[in-house]
Amino acid sequence: MEEIIRTEYSELMQKSYIDYAMSVIVSRALPDVRDGLKPVQRRTLYDMHELGTYYDRPYRKSARIVGDTMGKYHPHGDSSIYDALVVMAQDFKKGQPLVDGHGNFGSIEGDGAAAMRYTEARLMKISQEVYLKDLDKDVVNFVPNFDETEKEPEVLPVRIPNLLVNGADGIAVGMVTSIPPHNLTEVADAVKAYIKNKDLTTEQLMQYIEGPDFPTGGSVVNRDELREIYETGVGKIRIRGKVELEKGKNGKQFLVITEIPYTMIGANIGKFLCDVADLVEKRLTTDIVDISNQTSKEGIRIVLELKRGADAEQLKNLLYKKTRLEDTFSVNMLAVADGRPETLNLRQILDYFIDFRFELATRKYQTLLAKELERKEVQEGLIKAVDVIDLIIEILRGSKTQQQVRDCLTMGITEGIKFRHKASEKQAKQLAFTQRQAAAILDMRLAKLIGLELEALLKENRETEKKIERYETILNDYDVMADVLLEDLDEIKKEYGKKRRTLLENAEEIVLEEPKEEDTEVVFLMDRFGYARVVDPVTYERNREAADKESRFLFRCMSSDRIGLFTDRGIMHTIRVRDIPLRKFREKGTPIDNLSNYSSENELVILAAPVSEIREQKLVFVSLRGMTKVVDGSEFDAAKRTIAATKLSDEEDRVVYIGYAGQGEFLVLQTRGGYFIRFSTADIPEKKKGAVGVRGIRLEKDDSVENGYLISAGNEFQVEYAGRMLSLNRLKLSKRDGKGVKTKK
């Protein structure tokens, strides 16, 4: 009989989401504090170890490694496994690469790796010797894989704090980890010091770990802030690339970037080149003549050619301020500790690692001790057997089965065994070998009876006893085990240590004095397709007729001004005049979509004018639904690039006309149905830009306002309607909110 369980839906969703989030956090996205590896990295390295892809053996196809890892340990898709494999092989991302890649494994400039079927890989020596060694000595727990057909290590027996050496990055549900890489030599020295004295403060530990050491070099310029970052586990590191001044022939100067910030790896190098080009195009500098990217396998080399007499120091500061040549690395030292995510400081990371390292050493030497005790037991049995070899041979010859021999050797049972002499049987009853010794005796070859073999056995036994004594000392004395770990760290440091690549310093915040450009008059031109450009007044006067004919909006403005674009959606976008390219007259302009937040697909520009002019005027707004209002132009003098210019009556409403109230004494509204109404602008109330306004005309059903006109009493104003010219000044003067006059077609 089925039972229906009633539960609150919100509680069920909450529990399910928390379960999902924890699964992502612990099983996929975050590294373990002990080995500093995410599950996909750990499983990939272990699978390579199982496949035998050692550093001194031939490479294996990446596709084979990925497929084997996915089939046995990580059923989350081949792309995540291959991505992890690629990153572990990239020396510009990892302080200590763990995979030796053969083929195209991507570049520092953001080029992707070749498909896994084309590349090959094997373990680096450090991975094999420092990350995977001693797996056969029961140093870590093995857990069932996803389908319980294989066993995988819960954590790798890593002998260095990989969380610090290689850093980590990962995005989980509601949390992010971002740990910078550090120098292996410095980390090893810090671990040694911390093992000797657990009372060391963060400041004292930083005498060994001075700060991050990025594989791309560069420099950290807020050294004094690192202490707080290491104490709290969170903070921001300011990093800069390395720029050198080189002199060429004929007095030429070159700024050469030889090291980049760690955050510039990949597509950001291309963005940097574009940003430098933008500095030139926006006339923020005129000192750069050419830029070339000469980066190769030998390293980063981006060359900026400068014009003669250029201020190289000022230009260097401009690059730091306006491009990603100076960037921020956000630190959040989040890792899985004791099965749950935790933000850790430097001391905690070292605490967890050292506890883990002592646990590894304890389990290792317990395993080694157990093996040596077994070996000693067998050796002592064989030595004892040599002394009574004649008796053993007699037992063997008189027995019918191996079990009889085994029982006799271990318990002295002689029943069923024929002895030549009674004394032999009496002696046999006194035998008391262990089961392991008895098995070794039965497997013993006659060659062991030779005198030299016996001597070797005795010597081997003495060595075994020394090992047992050493292992017991290590296990029973904390200081001795600590000395073993210290020696191990020294060997690793000597074999794999490298010099620091990142410079640590304190640099002042760059205050850039931007050169003040001369404020000049220009002419803004925008055609009906939305392409904008500015030309100098002389060029405009020379081409006045063509410019007036081709341009939808045309006006003079100052280069320091901003231009306001009012759209039918009731929005105003602003563009700095300096951001608009200065062109020759016949050169094509730039789409205003690229210069502002304007979208030509969803909006139509109703009015374009300089902001300096707008703020001195009062603007008349007319909407599709016949709503009108007057707004003071000062409300549109805002610093934001996009603001709401007016409020529309409903979603279908649109702005159809915007004009300056001072341009006319009367406002004429024209509808699609042929109705015209003329009323005084004095009847239109002044409102805030956030107001809808008041009704200017009563519309017939399905009719809407098509256009608006501001006219003056003394000037004749004619528009073409239904194939004939209509004088708007002769329309009957009405009150606002009337029906207007229908004009026959």
| Residue pLDDT, tens place only, 550-604 | 999 999 999 889 999 999 999 999 999 988 888 888 888 889 988 888 888 889 9
| Sheet with strand 531-535: strands edge to edge | 551-558, 521-527, 531-535, 590-591
- The dihedrals phi and psi of 620, each to the nearest 5 degrees, come to -100, 125
Residue-wise pLDDT tens digits, 68-105: 999 999 998 899 999 999 999 999 999 899 999 999 99
Residue-wise pLDDT tens digits, 503-543: 999 987 776 665 566 788 999 999 988 899 999 999 999 99
Compare 440 and 232 and report the one with higher pLDDT: 232
Q: How confident is the model at residue 234 (pLDDT cuts 50, 70, 90)?
A: very high
Average pLDDT on 365-379 reads 92
Place of tokens 């004649």: 390
Task: Please tell me the least confidently modeled range out of 193-197, 403-407, 453-457, 495-499.
Answer: 453-457
Task: Please tell me the least confidently modeled range out of 18-27, 67-76, 202-211, 353-362.
Answer: 18-27
3-state secondary structure of 609: strand
Average pLDDT on 285-293 reads 87
Reply yes or no on whether the pLDDT at 1 is more than 60: no
Domain 355-494 matching CATH 1.10.268.10: the answer reads: yes
- The dihedrals phi and psi of 446, each to the nearest 5 degrees, come to -65, -25
C-alpha separations of 475 from 136, 465, 466, 471, 472 in Å: 19, 15, 14, 6, 5
Q: How confident is the model at residue 121 (pLDDT cuts 50, 70, 90)?
A: very high
- The dihedrals phi and psi of 326, each to the nearest 5 degrees, come to -120, 125
| CATH superfamily to which 615-742 belongs | DNA gyrase/topoisomerase IV, subunit A, C-terminal (2.120.10.90)
Place of tokens 């004088």: 727
| Residue 312 confidence (pLDDT) | 87
Place of tokens 């001391």: 347
Paired strand residues for 679:
667
- The domain limits of the chain are 38-157, 242-324, 355-494, 615-742
Segment of 152-156, 278-282, 296-300, 519-523 carrying the highest mean pLDDT: 152-156
3-state secondary structure of 383: helix
Q: Which of 472, 496, 231 has the alpha carbon at shortest distance from 346? A: 231
Considering the chain, what is the average pLDDT of its residues?
A: 89
What's the angle, vertex CA 322, arms to CA 319 and CA 327, rounded to 5? 85
Distance CA 666, CA 668 (A): 7
Residue-wise pLDDT tens digits, 644-699: 999 998 988 999 999 998 888 899 999 998 999 999 999 999 999 999 999 999 99
The domain defined by 38-157 folds into Topoisomerase II; domain 5 (3.90.199)
| Residue 713 confidence (pLDDT) | 81
Q: Report the percent of the chain where pLDDT is more than 90.
A: 60
C-alpha separations of 247 from 243, 270, 501 in Å: 13, 25, 25
Reply yes or no on whether the pLDDT at 311 is more than 90: no
3-state secondary structure of 279: helix
* 419-427 long-range Cβ contacts below 8 angstroms, 24+ apart: 419/394, 419/395, 420/394, 424/391, 424/394, 427/388, 427/391
Q: Which helix (H) or strand (E) holds 257?
A: strand 253-259
Domain 242-324, CATH: 3.30.1360.40
| Residue 27 confidence (pLDDT) | 63
DSSP string across 173-236: SS-EEEE----HHHHHHHHHHHHH-TT--HHHHTTT--S---TT--EESBGGGHHHHHHHSEEE
Q: How confident is the model at residue 448 (pLDDT cuts 50, 70, 90)?
A: low
| Joined tokens for residue 265 | 């790896």
Average pLDDT on 239-266 reads 89
Q: How confident is the model at residue 418 (pLDDT cuts 50, 70, 90)?
A: confident
* 508-511 long-range Cβ contacts below 8 angstroms, 24+ apart: 510/317, 510/320, 510/321, 510/326
Active site residues: 118
| Residue 422 confidence (pLDDT) | 82
Distance CA 588, CA 580 (A): 12
| Residue 416 confidence (pLDDT) | 81
| Joined tokens for residue 164 | 């610090």
Contacts of 493 (CB under 8 A, 6+ apart): 184, 185, 188, 189
Q: Report the percent of the chain where pLDDT is more than 70.
A: 96
Distance CA 162, CA 164 (A): 5
Task: Please tell me the least confidently modeled range out of 11-15, 381-385, 504-508, 585-589.
Answer: 11-15
Reply yes or no on whether the pLDDT at 217 is more than 80: yes
| Sheet with strand 694-695: strands edge to edge | 655-660, 618-623, 627-632, 694-695
DSSP H helices, 90-161, are: 125-126
Average pLDDT on 121-135 reads 95
Reply yes or no on whether the pLDDT at 337 is more than 60: yes
- In eight-state DSSP terms, residue 313 is H
Place of tokens 């594989």: 215
